[in-house]
Amino acid sequence: MTDHPAILRTGRKFDQVLAGARKVFMADGFEGANVDDIARAAGVSKATLYSYFPDKRLLFVEVATTECRRMAERTLELVDPTAPPRAVLTIAAGQIVPFLLSDFAQQCFRACMAERDRFPELGRAFYTNGPENGKRQLKAYMAEATARGQLRIDDLDMAAEQFTELCKARLWTRAVFGIQTRFTEEEIAEVVQNAVETFLARYGA
């Protein structure tokens, strides 16, 4: 990321600022978000907002990366890495698919694409804390499962990438192009089940 003023991550109003920013970014996107609206939604003054985030871009990156980290933490809390692969992968896909389809993830993806040239650090930050972090965690689990003889994987990087791509089947593309904006639990469950079944058909022991 290019040189920016340091972000102040302490203080009782930091979480307020993030929550307010998330609400406004979700409603208006990065480009349309107004600093006055963010301060109002956060219940803080503009001076307080700028004391935490001197640049709106820094605030958007912080909101995006925080959301990605929370999703990863929730997944880790739910997963028992010693459980059978079908159970572990079903839980993982059950977190990945809804996150990819969420309004927040879709907004971040669109912002990354729209601001790719003017704001490349956004794409890098979202990729590092989202897809790359997810792949790293999947690789760690898959390596352990392979060592236990539960999976048969030679290329962990490829396998982790493939599993994530399987979680994008059908619904993610429809979301990206605005063909469909709401998804039922049944639709999501079908993608999750097919992702796990397809992956295990290739890599199951």
pLDDT of residue 7: 61
Percent of the chain topping pLDDT 70: 95
* Residues 147-182: tens digit of each pLDDT: 999 999 999 999 999 999 999 999 999 999 999 999
* Residues 96-138: tens digit of each pLDDT: 999 999 988 888 888 888 878 887 887 888 888 888 888 999 9
The DSSP string of 12-52 is TTHHHHHHHHHHHHHHHHHHH--HHHHHHHHTS-HHHHHHH
pLDDT of residue 91: 95
Residue 181, C-beta contacts closer than 8 angstroms, at least 6 positions apart: 175
The DSSP string of the chain is ----PPP---STTHHHHHHHHHHHHHHHHHHH--HHHHHHHHTS-HHHHHHH-SSHHHHHHHHHHHHHHHHHHHHHHH--TTS-HHHHHHHHHHHHHHHHHSHHHHHHHHHHHHTTTT-HHHHHHHHIIIIIHHHHHHHHHHHHHHHTTSB--S-HHHHHHHHHHHTTTTHHHHHHTTS-----HHHHHHHHHHHHHHHHHHHB-
pLDDT of residue 10: 66
Domain ranges within the chain, ordered by starting residue: 65-203
* Residues 61-100: tens digit of each pLDDT: 888 888 888 888 888 888 888 899 999 999 999 999 999 9
Please name the amino acid found at residue 198.
Answer: T
pLDDT of residue 162: 97
Please name the amino acid found at residue 1.
Answer: M
Do residues 96 and 134 lie in contact, with contact meaning Cβ atoms separated by under 8 Å?
Answer: yes
The CATH T-level fold of domain 65-203 is: Tetracycline Repressor; domain 2 (1.10.357)
